[in-house]
Structure 1
Amino acid sequence: MTGYPESLTDPSYKGQILVFTHPLIGNYGVPGKKMINGTKILSNFESDHIQAEGVVVSEFTEGTKWDSNSTFDSWLKRESIPGIFGVDTRELTIRLRDGGATIGMISDNRRDMRELDRYDYESINFVEMVSPKKPIYCKTRGKKPKGTIVVMDFGAKNGFISDLMALGYDVIRAPWDSSPEEILEFRPSGIVYGNGPGNPNLLKGAISNIKELLDTGIPSMGICLGHQLTTLALGGKIKKMKLGHRAVNKGVMSRIDGHAYITTHNHGYALSKGDMPSGAKVLFESIDDDVVEGIMDKRHNLLTTQFHPEARPGAWDTRFIFDMFYKMMQHGRKKA
């Protein structure tokens, strides 16, 4: 099983307990923190620390490999993240599948269970916990930049930022509550609304800001939470799912070429076909249910996906999404 360092450090898991269904975790240890050459982006982690609140595994091992810096268990201890093993995680998954997402706790004291009644995940703004407090400048490596991409950072993954930089643009990670004026001061070639945790319907201020930015016609892309927020900004509806999509192997159907692709997902809220914003078209749809997995709105120069095209971890089937966004930026601003 690979990908657990990336999954646990993904800011989208803030406020959640992560259950691994694979029976063995920790088989190659935990790598040391290494920067991608010429950047400040970590190559093996999606942020600089574990974001999940707890971990549940069936069995863990103290395995190590050539680039391992610590064991899985010591990593959790060092970052003060509670974990539990010896659990039938597949049976637990069945219960979560049948009953839907639920509030949970890892504790050795039953009296702590009373705290669960006071915890309301839907009303907590987790984005403000993982978004940077001031802009972060990421310079493209080894060549003159073609321009600047501004990411409204709701908890963006390192892999996502790295793939944007690979397009040949400098990337600026702006705080989640940046005003349209602050974003436009950077003179962006493109604006990206990235991934992040929690309930998108709470972020009223960000939705209003996004609406104003979309009206500029600057090439824009929304990924995961960004897909949901741009949908809300355009008048669509995002609703909580009974069963979220959380896997590295979920199939989506493309209306671009009619092909099916394997994609990485981590979301508990979704856009359904009956809640589409006016004027937008479906680009991708789930093979499993009615969820819209991506839209295009040509009036606002907007491309979105609910899944993660950067896929760390996961399949790289849909990395062509970044090429589509690159072409949009080459064509430039479009008047809405």
Structure 2
Amino acid sequence: GNYGIKNDEIESDSVKISGMVCKKFSDVASRYGGDGSLNEYFEKEKLVAICELDTRKLVRHIRDKGAMNAIISSEELDIEILKSKLKTVPSMAGLELASKVSCTESFEIGTENQNKVALLDFGVKKNIIRSLVDRGCHLKVFPWNTKTSEIMAWNPDGIMLSNGPGDPSVMPEVIATVQEIVASEIPVFGICLGHQLLALSQGLVTKKMHNGHRGINHPIKNMITGKCEVTSQNHGFVVDMDSANEHDNIEVTHVHLNDNTLAGIKVKDKSAFSVQYHPEAGPGPNDAKYLFDNFLENIIKAKQIQTV
């Protein structure tokens, strides 16, 4: 918490965590241009945190046992009662969460120009929006469950499938929408949950991971260039590698070097691609920001073909 909070670097309109566990919680913040301490931010957002724990031991436990639900309480201290409350919390598997974090009404951002990008919001990070606007795109952000007909009525040049939380396999209507979008020949770019939804729309399979990938230094190999990229990742589900390798129309474009899980795909006969990680960073490295440039190149190429 000694770094404090800077409001213009917050990636969401509201806090998405329920609580925080840490070794030390600093009440003092020192940062140029900061807007307050972490403690003030937690009090404002009515968030709970617990500190002075052996977080290394806790990490080892999660590493060995897998991701799990947790409970923090400063009121009820009876362990057995807390355990019984925890049992009522659903597993992430089978949980649809995009509806909890998506916008409820569409809105536009960026100056009007020839590159119109429709963004399906499953819990989009602000830096994805910035990354597109900085490249001269005019965005219209649509709620997570918007139908294909409404998206196409805006006449977009490209479609972005955003990041977001939850199990993608329990979103059949959205998967059907993505399938229709891909069939339309409009360039598509998916990130994180958007990547998983693109994969599911093409008949691939997703699964829950033992631990998930969390952090800003995950190594990825670009299978097209052969180069390694350091990436920011935050996901608990992954597209099954075997289902991708067995699909005639899917090319595996990126692989995670720590565990050889699938990190990126391309639909061979369409202008549609996606990655499991966060090329927009915020926080994290900038190694993969070129993917936004690739998306824009696909949009320009598609428009040139239409005018021929």
TM-score interval w.r.t. the shorter chain? over 0.9
| 1:134 lines up with 2:102 in the alignment | no
Q: Distance in 1 between matches of 2:31 and 2:68?
A: 36
Which of 18, 21, 30 is matched with 1:56 structurally?
21
CA distance in 2, matches of 1:278, 1:209: 22
Residues 33-73 of structure 1 deviation map (CA, whole Å, 9 limit, x = unaligned): 3xxxxxxxxx3111122111111111122122221221111
Q: Does 1:29 align with 2:4?
A: yes
2:180 alignment counterpart: 212
Q: Which deviates more from structure 2 when the two are superposed, residues 294-303 or residues 221-230?
A: 294-303
Give the SS at the match of 2:73.
coil
The RMSD of aligned alpha carbons is: 1.5
- 1:44 equivalenced with 2:9 (yes/no): yes
Distance (Å, rounded) in 1 between the aligned partners of 2:96 and 2:248? 28
Determine the C-alpha separation between the residues in 2 that align with 1:156 and 1:229. 14
Distance in 1 separating the partners of 2:125 and 2:289: 15
1:196: how far off? 0.2
TM-superposition CA deviations, 1:99-127 (whole Å, max 9, x none)? 10111111132323312111113333211
Task: Give the letter aligned to residue 59 of structure 1.
Answer: K
- Secondary structure of the residue aligned to 1:312 is coil
TM-score (norm 2): 0.93
Contact 2:255/2:261 (8 A) holds in 1: yes
Find the aligned partners of 2:44 and 2:220 in 1 and give their Cα distance.
38
Q: Is 1:153 aligned to 2:121, yes or no?
A: yes
Aligned mates of 2:119, 2:82 — CA distance in 1? 39
- Specify the code of the residue in structure 1 equivalent to 2:118: V
8 Å contact kept, 1:217–1:299: no
* Cα displacement (A) at 1:192: 0.7
Q: Are residues 1:264 and 2:232 paired?
A: yes
Q: 2:264 aligns with which of 294, 317, 320?
A: 294
Equivalent residue runs for 1:311-322 within 5 Å: 311-322=281-292
Deviations 1:163-201 (A, max 9, x none): 011111111110000000011011111001110001111
1:66 aligns with 2:36: no
SS of 1:123's equivalent in the other structure is coil
Q: Is contact 2:204–2:240 with CA below 8 Å preserved after alignment?
A: no
CA deviation string 1:277-330 (max 9, x = no partner): 441101100101131100111312111110100011001011111111111001
Aligned counterparts of 2:114 and 2:268: Cα–Cα separation in 1: 23
8 Å Cα contact 1:235/1:278 also seen in 2:
no
Write the letter of the residue equivalent to 2:23.
Answer: S
Other-structure match for 1:14: none
| Aligned pairs, number | 297
Alignment of structure 1 residues 1-336 onto 2, 5 Å: 26-31=1-6, 33=7, 43-61=8-26, 62-108=28-74, 109=76, 110=79, 111-120=81-90, 121-140=92-111, 145-276=113-244, 277-332=247-302
How far, CA to CA, are the matches of 1:290 and 1:205 in structure 2? 30
Does the CA-based 8 Å contact 1:150-1:173 persist in structure 2? yes
- Give the whole-Å Cα distance in 1 for the aligned partners of 2:254 and 2:94: 29
* Structure 1 portions without partners, runs of 5+: 1-25, 34-42
| SS in structure 1 of the partner of residue 235 of structure 2 | strand
Superimposed CA distance per residue, residues 219-255 of structure 1 (whole angstroms, 9 cap, x where no aligned partner) = 0001000000000000000011112011100001111
Residues in 1 aligned to 2:164 and 2:72: alpha-carbon distance in whole angstroms: 23
| TM-score, L = length of structure 1 | 0.85
* CA distance in 1 between partners of 2:140 and 2:129 (Å): 9
Distance (Å, rounded) in 2 between the aligned partners of 1:317 and 1:89:
30
User: 2:213–2:234: 8 Å Cα contact kept in structure 1?
Assistant: yes
| Structure 2 residue identity aligned to 1:133 | T
Distance in 1 between residues matched to 2:252 and 2:234, nearest whole Å: 20
